[in-house]
A = this chain, B = another copy of it.
């Protein structure tokens, strides 16, 4: 492996001069500059970033902990974060946890060991100790989409789940529905709690009673949505409208619906959090709440780089707007 010393020797200069030529900063005479560049060329020298990181105390790495990078929402967020990172000369280390808190802890520990310069967290549970260590080590951290309750001082980038859910459910209620159900997310997940709260609020405001059996906590993945929807549809009396926690669960829910020959929207109205390119083309087109996933990621990146550049970001929550797409999956009940 050819090192900076080899280049220095070949060019007949000191390592410092080589570094100066390559990294800029202090000027170097044209003559030497050229000699160095030629040596670099001839030796096919590639500077060792690991050594540079060690010396500088900066890795140029951003850690991103997600539950599953294959989830479209997550992937969009990742992309937004990455673009922001690239803008600052950074790269992104992505790790999926599958909502496994042990795995989460491992990932955070590994981020700490690698001394990533900042961490974005888009995952599930508390990960308390892991995050605590990041904080202790002064690694800028931001939560994305959701944040454990006990970590309020760390910034969060999110959408207003509660209001968005409330509005969507109100839309159902305004259509005339009085018996609503929800395919919710895992109880421990803050966004699940918020969307459920929005659902309940809207119902309560309208004076509607929510039957407990109509609210199913789906574990994540399409399978969870399927199971939950099955339970709802197999009730002796079905609700006339269902609100889904996210698009993945909604897809599972659609499977259950199809399996039972339930007609949407005639027999059942459906609204879901999270939009998808294909929802407009589903039979019927799915009414959905769109989250600006890309922007969420980008915003998280901005926050992190602000911190890296020395700004104080504690307590800075960023709330991005949602968009409600009314399509064809809802109708008045009893049609």
Residues of chain A having any CB pair with chain B under 8 Å: 44, 46-51, 53-54, 59, 61, 68-72, 74-76, 78-79, 82-83, 86, 91-96, 109-110, 112-115, 133, 136-137, 222, 251, 254, 258, 276-284, 294
- Cβ of B82 and Cβ of A69 under 8 Å apart? yes
Minimum CB–CB distance for A278 against chain B, Å: 4
- Cβ of A79 and Cβ of B72 under 8 Å apart? no
* Among B47, B91, B112, B283, contact of A282 (Cβ-Cβ < 8 Å): B283
Give bound CA distance, A137 to B50, whole Å: 15
Q: Which residue of B lies closest to A2 (CB)?
A: B137
- Cβ of A72 and Cβ of B72 under 8 Å apart? yes
- Cβ of B93 and Cβ of A93 under 8 Å apart? yes
Minimum CB–CB distance for A265 against chain B, Å: 13
- Cβ of B70 and Cβ of A69 under 8 Å apart? no
Minimum CB–CB distance for A215 against chain B, Å: 24
Give bound CA distance, A259 to B69, whole Å: 33
- Cβ of A50 and Cβ of B283 under 8 Å apart? no
Please indicate the chain B residues that have their CB under 8 angstroms from the CB of A49 in the complex.
Answer: 110, 113-115
Given contacts A79-B69, A91-B93, contact A50 B115 (CB under 8 A): yes
- Cβ of B94 and Cβ of A78 under 8 Å apart? yes
Given contacts A54-B54, A278-B276, contact A72 B75 (CB under 8 A): yes
27 contacts across the A-B interface (CB closer than 8 A)? A44-B133, A44-B136, A46-B133, A48-B54, A49-B114, A50-B50, A50-B54, A50-B114, A50-B115, A54-B54, A69-B75, A69-B79, A71-B75, A75-B75, A82-B94, A83-B96, A91-B110, A92-B93, A93-B94, A254-B281, A258-B280, A276-B278, A278-B278, A278-B279, A281-B283, A282-B282, A282-B283
Please indicate the chain B residues that have their CB under 8 angstroms from the CB of A279 in the complex.
Answer: 278
- Cβ of B59 and Cβ of A70 under 8 Å apart? no
- Cβ of B137 and Cβ of A46 under 8 Å apart? yes
* Among B48, B76, B92, B95, contact of A70 (Cβ-Cβ < 8 Å): B76
Please indicate the chain B residues that have their CB under 8 angstroms from the CB of A74 in the complex.
Answer: 75
Give bound CA distance, A47 to B53, whole Å: 15
Given contacts A82-B69, A96-B79, contact A47 B113 (CB under 8 A): yes
Give bound CA distance, A198 to B278, whole Å: 27
* Among B53, B95, B133, contact of A82 (Cβ-Cβ < 8 Å): B95
- Cβ of A70 and Cβ of B294 under 8 Å apart? yes
A-B contacts besides A50-B115, A74-B75, 6 pairs, CB < 8 Å: A70-B72, A83-B96, A86-B95, A92-B93, A93-B93, A281-B283
- Cβ of A91 and Cβ of B95 under 8 Å apart? yes
Given contacts A50-B114, A283-B283, contact A277 B251 (CB under 8 A): yes
Give bound CA distance, A75 to B94, whole Å: 11
Give bound CA distance, A115 to B52, whole Å: 12
Give bound CA distance, A281 to B327, whole Å: 15
Please indicate the chain B residues that have their CB under 8 angstroms from the CB of A79 in the complex.
Answer: 68-70, 96
Given contacts A44-B133, A281-B283, A284-B283, contact A82 B54 (CB under 8 A): no
Give bound CA distance, A50 to B55, whole Å: 10
Please indicate the chain B residues that have their CB under 8 angstroms from the CB of A136 in the complex.
Answer: 44
